[in-house]
Amino acid sequence: MSKHHYFLAAKLPKEVKDYLKEWVEKNKADFPFAKWVHHEDYHITLAFLGFAEESMKQEVLNTMSQTLIEESPFILTLNKIGTFGPHKKPRIFWGDVEQSDSLNQVQKKVHRQCMEIGFQLDKKPFRPHITLARKWQGENDFDIVKLEEFEDRLSFTVDEVVLYETHLDKTPKYHEYARFSLA
């Protein structure tokens, strides 16, 4: 059993990570969260695998390209900022993307394949997002009025799904373990 955990995610292009990094730097003072995600770690999780036995991880490597063979690159657009958790003290601060049938289809295929391999996956509905920060630490309650749409609704192409390996002792902490191109 590996000491790392793994997840499959839609890879974000560098320009999106840089755009979000600039947005965070400009707006961070208004949102006192305890832990900000390193911009190189931005992604959209498709399936969180957790700790993976070597045989199961190998099965992901052996089957994911074929699982995604009919999927083409697709366009996503950054949409707005949101939170998960209690409204006054949110747990997660995230960037949203506009609804995408293509993203949903890729996620369903990835999720189904991982379940067939034997992974125990989250049963909550898929809610695509890019985690920016965690754990509200403000002295005052979170002010939802400060949430806004991104100034420039940046559109970008998703052309890869990545199997990431987590290294909690490093920054950035997500390492690209394997990449799967969309045709």
Q: Which residues are catalytic?
A: 43, 129
Q: What is the secondary structure of the chain as a DSSP string?
A: --SSEEEEEEEPPHHHHHHHHHHHHHHGGGS-EEEEPPGGG-EEEEEEEEE--HHHHHHHHHHHHHHTTT---EEEEEEEEEEES-SSS-SEEEEEE---HHHHHHHHHHHHHHHHHT-----SPP--EEEEEEEE--SSPP-GGG--B-SS--EEEE-EEEEEEE-TTSSS-EEEEEEEE--
CA angle at 163 for the pair 161 and 164, rounded to the nearest 5°:
120
Q: 120, 114 in Cβ contact below 8 A?
A: no
